[in-house]
A and B are shown apart, each in its own frame.
Chain A
Amino acid sequence: MTQSVQERVIAIIAEQAVIDPSEVGMDQTLEDLGIDSLGLVESIFAIEEAFDISVPFNANDPKESSFDISSVASIVAAIEGLVAAQAA
Chain B
Amino acid sequence: MTFDKDVKYLESHEWARKDGDVVVCGISDYAQDSLGDVVFVELPEVGQTLKKGDAFGVVESVKAASDVYMPVSGEIVETNGVLEETPETINEDPFGDGWLIKIQPSDVSEYEGLMSAEDYKAYTEGLED
Co-complex (A, B) = no
Which B residues lie at the A interface, using CB under 8 A?
Answer: none
